[in-house]
Structure 1
């Protein structure tokens, strides 16, 4: 005869205690995860700050990032404070002290966010980008500005290593930090390389591209093209390249010098009354180099001829600089991209202003477009008579964009996306301004990536 196993009787008090314990744990976990999603600070165990000052081509911008660690030991971005001023450091030329003094407002803004007791543990980085690298007064003037800024940051009362975080940032670093920031905010870090996204940034002086690649690509790539990126989550191999002089403003000089002109010597990307001339200290050129270009009142702008001029510029640099193929443009080695394409900065701005992309409903709405939409917008800008450009592109006028350059700029962006970076006319291109992260709208910029890096360097907790 079989007997069922006997069970020991549980006391009502023990059972009640166990149930209460389980309920408390469940509520604690649920509330912590919920608060992590909405960004409440009340459930976090610690708070740290990282300050990044972006000294760009046209202005300076300060980002104060607040990170908090939850009960599970996860440090997450909690919030970002942002403030911008104009003009940029390069506008001060040889007046180094005046340039550094222009940052006083941003330093004061940062101090208003970071409590005094936390400042000595808070890194403060200042990164000058392409604008300072290309300033007409030359490298000595740029170095003098950075020395003056470095001395000011050393006296500001933040982390003692902060003065070592003041530099003219290399374009490759800019691309790497931008890639990290975007994938961090999209919560792709820690996943497979195929689950990350590619990032293109187009500034005034340069453009960068970054995307994850396999380890086999790293083994065969020429030196300087594939970098190993160690994030707090996992390591990635990433193709990263910066194209100095190929920003939306700086590239004009290259197009005028190398691009094919019309038979009468006028440039097909410029409308009739425009004369773009520089005889000294030309932005985007080496000292002593000049350029001169004018539009044709007879022929006007034309998309096909303008596109041919842009592509001819790409080919010219490849003919003289491409040492090992395959090359994309400017002599740069390239390798196929297999991840979705996200773009920012001038590509987003001109896309929305010219109708190549829908206007986002909120700053953190990610809208999608295609390179083909930029082609359509460029064609429209090029065929529009100069006198009607303002009425045809009111969003550009409202943003104080010089509409006389829309044909050139939109055609260049189309060629950059396709001939330069390999997108097809129909591939989805996702446009970033800010990203919704933990109930906060956070700017998708390299500054966040740099903030993570300097915070790690200052505390020895992360290694890049």
Structure 2
């Protein structure tokens, strides 16, 4: 039975509660919560109520729990969208870099082309969320002529110069973990096994002493299929299309060969040898690719000019060269030729020009037999063209030399007609070159005149070259070897 004192305290407590004369405070100590009721008049504790049931029975603990749920939810959403939304990667990587979580990776690829040698050195950082490589900076340097025009000794000197450029770009502490490679294209393919191997061995000796990471395949002649796949990878990587449903087609026009590569999932039996699965981050994409040896710009030019001529002949007249051109010197594969324009009886003496239709037929005669198989369904894709496509377009004012641009197949044909009708000794082969590009795109690849062609030397400030795709293959192979070794 309650005592008089207990009843008095109870009445006093109820009175103070009714009139708001006490304060309630919470104290947390090792998950034990106290409810401290203080008399507002006497300023002394009346009673302590202990609660040992944890946060669920306290307001502040509930708020804390809700806050933690919010943090976890936001973190999950950021990770999810960071992985699958490319636009969030730069934001997250910037934050990670500011907090000191940034890992660098370098690489260098040497492009031994038919007309020159180039080095492309790359600086990447690894994306914080999924570890993919993000290109930050690059070096591009070029020296002429190509290795196929040099002796092994002079070729080694040329590559050493480019190697020194790469060493200036890549910090020395990264050299032992930086893979480098030299891949030769059509120029050395057509030189012959013994001559090309002597040049490649001289380069291998330079690479061995470089301090960079190399292997048995670091210096070699590249297969034409790889050249096309690497170009396609580069274009779509720089355009952020590798994870897109509509990847871009890549057209690369070199000096000795031309490559066509684009996504093609419907495999016809006659095309099965030209369909290749390409690793793209965590998936694969089937692409059609083929390298047409002999359909590079310089190789085709030589074939047209020397058609039905003796093998040892070095002086030519040709219907695709303006009659005003006389004995123009041209060097191809270490051989010097003298080229003159052929008289066009349809043109007036006062206005010498090339017989356009005759030139077109001469070019078709050389192109069509070599174009097997012809690309199919390429028009379903955005088309990016580079190398000599781009060079001839900027030299004739079709696109801005710094920004590039977009033209149609018909624009190339129109510019070819204009060039063939203009007497220009400074660009004696421009008529032939543009006619070839027009024939290749329309008759060879089956593109209609209204098809848009995107012409860029750079995308997002980076060179459009197969070298970037080549680096990624080397890097992926290296990572796989290291993973197997660790297991």
- The whole-number CA distance in structure 2 between the counterparts of 1:429 and 1:451 is 26
Structure 1 position 149, deviation (Å)? 0.4
Structure 1 position 244, deviation (Å)? 1.4
Among candidates 460, 470, 473, match of residue 450 of structure 1: 470
Among candidates 34, 59, 66, match of residue 11 of structure 1: 59
Gaps of 5+ in 1: 1-6, 319-328, 391-401
Q: Could you report, residue by residue, the CA deviation over 1:186-230 in whole angstroms, capped at 9, with x for unpaired residues?
A: 1111333xx11111011122111101111433x54253x222222
Instruction: Tell me if 1:63 matches 2:120.
Output: yes
Q: Secondary structure at the match of 2:412?
A: helix
Instruction: Tell me if 1:97 matches 2:153.
Output: yes
Trace 1:42-441 onto structure 2 (pairs within 5 A): 42=98, 44-90=101-147, 93=150, 95-135=151-191, 138-161=192-215, 163-192=216-245, 195-217=246-268, 219-221=269-271, 223=273, 225-258=274-307, 267-274=318-325, 283=333, 294-296=341-343, 298=345, 299=347, 300-315=353-368, 318=369, 329-337=370-378, 338-355=380-397, 357-359=398-400, 362-363=402-403, 367-384=405-422, 386=423, 389=424, 402-436=426-460, 441=461
Larger strand fraction of residues: 2
Identify if the C-alpha distance between structure 1 residues 303 and 259 changes in structure 2 by more than 3 Å, giving closer, same or farther: farther
Q: Could you report, residue by residue, the CA deviation over 1:115-161 in whole angstroms, capped at 9, with x for unpaired residues?
A: 333222211011112222234xx432211010110121122111142
Contact conserved, 1:100 with 1:149, CA < 8 A, in 2?
A: yes
The size of the alignment, in residue pairs, is 407
Identify if the C-alpha distance between structure 1 residues 189 and 59 changes in structure 2 by more than 3 Å, giving closer, same or farther: same
- Where relative contact order (Cα < 8 A, 6+ residues apart) is larger, the structure is 1
Identify if the C-alpha distance between structure 1 residues 19 and 13 changes in structure 2 by more than 3 Å, giving closer, same or farther: same
Structure 1 position 105, deviation (Å)? 2.4
Structure 1 position 75, deviation (Å)? 1.4
Identify if the C-alpha distance between structure 1 residues 170 and 39 changes in structure 2 by more than 3 Å, giving closer, same or farther: farther
Residue 14 of structure 2 is matched in structure 1 by none
Please give the TM-score of this superposition, normalised by the length of structure 1.
0.77
Structure 1 position 336, deviation (Å)? 2.8
Q: Secondary structure at the match of 2:204?
A: helix
Structure 1 position 340, deviation (Å)? 1.8
Contact conserved, 1:54 with 1:127, CA < 8 A, in 2?
A: yes
- The whole-number CA distance in structure 2 between the counterparts of 1:96 and 1:257 is 28
Q: Secondary structure at the match of 2:240?
A: coil
- The whole-number CA distance in structure 1 between the counterparts of 2:261 and 2:141 is 26
Identify if the C-alpha distance between structure 1 residues 344 and 282 changes in structure 2 by more than 3 Å, giving closer, same or farther: closer
Structure 1 position 442, deviation (Å)? 1.2
4+ residue runs over 6 A deviation: 27-32, 37-40, 276-279, 290-293
* Root mean square deviation of aligned Cα: 3.5
Q: Could you report, residue by residue, the CA deviation over 1:87-123 in whole angstroms, capped at 9, with x for unpaired residues?
A: 2342653x31221122222222222233333222211
Q: Could you report, residue by residue, the CA deviation over 1:332-354 in whole angstroms, capped at 9, with x for unpaired residues?
A: 35433222211011111211221
